[in-house]
Structure 1
Amino acid sequence: MTVQRPRRTQAERRASTRARILACTAECLLERGYAATTVSAVQERTGLARGTVQHHFPTRAELLIAATTEVVDIRLARFRHEAELLPPGRDRLQSVVDLAWRDLNSPAFFTALDLWVAARTDADLRERLVHEERRVFTEMRRLYVEVLGEPYASDPRAQILVEFTIDLLTGLSMTAMLTGTLGEREAVVRRWKRALAVLVGQLPSDDLLDGSPLPAAAN
């Protein structure tokens, strides 16, 4: 006997359509950027009528403001997934550098940059972004501490070094976004890993400029 599924309520259909629109908007932001994410582009991607999209989000501004949460959720999900894939047995402070570098070179991060620039002249977007960026930073800091584990987690230097790592790699990623010089970027990351090894006492200070590989535990 065929069991018929219960019909979805109007509220459930509305919520499903809204979620579909936001997911497609986030995809468009990630792939095409803020400027190219128009109502028409989103409508085409969803396959819905333009009137349906505008029924849920009457203006482009409302659509993009709502979609910032989707973009942050995508970034956090990817970040958690990358954290779970970190290989065991490696120095955890060095692993945090790898984790941060992958996040700060991801489409979700570059989309965040796009939104930050747009928010400079859009007060409503800026208000939403401030809230969402607090959320993403809070969750990422929690994950960084979790990844670090002991003895780093209880070392007061570790939090400062993680902050320095994020700041340095953010600036490096933003600069490289224009220049596209991958080799130079990777060289800076390697030098910073060596500097961290010196700062936590894994390497002597005169090894800071040494070009030899890092110790196995910190490579």
Structure 2
Amino acid sequence: MGRLTGGPAPRKARMSTREPKQERSRATRRRLLESAIDCLAAHGWQATTVSVVAEQAGVSRGAAQHHFPTREDLITAALELMTDSRLELIREEARGLPDGPGRTEAVLRRMVEHFTSPLFKAALQVWTAAAADESLKQRIVPLEARFGRAAHRVTVELLGVDDSDPVAHRLVQGTLDMARGLGLADVLTDDSARRERIVLQWSATLDAALRRSPSP
């Protein structure tokens, strides 16, 4: 027997109307976060307001504030996306790395490329603002600590070293610190020529030092 007119809609029909709405909401949120990242990288912290990001994303200010009531909410969520994107990018780039000779240099290049990427430059804008804003700092520091631990773990895996060896641990951490420093040097000027020389020298030094450390 058919459904009586005016009766409640079947559960499946009700869910089918909700799902597209949820998908649109997720898509809107994603556009806002990606626009925030682009805006941070291109124009800096001061210019990255909810209004500017909403306009760039093609979203109304009201819709943007529904997802992110304050700029701090928007930026924190954008940094979370950046953290996830940065980790995913590192893992993706790990595929196809050469084995044997040349692997240490290839791994180092991947890490340096990450720290000179637009994602890193966007994150740097947030770090600078957080240094002068304690409430923002409290949001940002745990996210960056999470990324730092994950980046260290991925680098250890890619290099195939034993992280319980204190020498190997410090070498990996020093490599990441150096890669971050090269990223900072690239912010104001094109530092690619000097960076290339440093990558070649440090990869040879690191490879020799890791081979002297105990194998995992």
Question: 1:80-95 residue pairs with structure 2 within 5 A?
Answer: 80-95=91-106
State the distance in 2 between where 1:89 and 1:201 align.
12
1:108 deviation in Å? Answer: 1.1
1:18 deviation in Å? Answer: 3.1
1:115 deviation in Å? Answer: 0.9
Is 1:51 aligned to residue 56 of structure 2?
no
State the distance in 1 between where 2:162 and 2:103 align.
10
State the distance in 2 between where 1:128 and 1:55 align.
20
Does the 8 Å CA contact 1:20/1:46 hold for their aligned counterparts?
yes
1:118 deviation in Å? Answer: 0.5
Aligned length: 197
Is 1:134 aligned to residue 145 of structure 2?
yes
1:169 deviation in Å? Answer: 2.4
Task: Name the counterpart of 1:175.
Answer: 185
1:197 deviation in Å? Answer: 3.7
| Inter-CA distance 36–195: structure 2 relative to 1 (3 Å threshold) | same
Does the 8 Å CA contact 1:33/1:111 hold for their aligned counterparts?
yes
Q: Which moved further from structure 2: 176-185 or 83-92? A: 83-92
Question: 1:26-37 residue pairs with structure 2 within 5 A?
Answer: 26-37=37-48
State the distance in 1 between where 2:20 and 2:211 align.
62
Does the 8 Å CA contact 1:25/1:67 hold for their aligned counterparts?
yes
Which letter maps to 1:153? Answer: D
Among 181, 199, 202, the residue aligned to 1:189: 199
Is 1:42 aligned to residue 53 of structure 2?
yes
State the distance in 2 between where 1:112 and 1:18 align.
19
Question: What percentage of residue pairs aligned between the two structures are identical?
Answer: 37
1:181 deviation in Å? Answer: 2.9
Task: Name the counterpart of 1:165.
Answer: 175
- Normalising by structure 1, we get a TM-score of 0.77
Which letter maps to 2:150? Answer: E
Task: Give the gaps of 5 or more residues in structure 1.
Answer: 203-219
Among 107, 113, 121, the residue aligned to 2:124: 113
Other structure's SS at 1:35 match: coil
Give the alignment's Cα RMSD to 1 decimal: 2.6
State the distance in 1 between where 2:208 and 2:28 align.
53
| Inter-CA distance 14–199: structure 2 relative to 1 (3 Å threshold) | closer
| Inter-CA distance 25–94: structure 2 relative to 1 (3 Å threshold) | same
Does the 8 Å CA contact 2:156/2:172 hold for their aligned counterparts?
no
- Normalising by structure 2, we get a TM-score of 0.78
Does the 8 Å CA contact 1:68/1:128 hold for their aligned counterparts?
no
Which entry has the higher C-alpha Rg, 1 or 2? 2
Which letter maps to 2:192? Answer: L
Task: Name the counterpart of 1:143.
Answer: 154
State the distance in 1 between where 2:49 and 2:59 align.
14
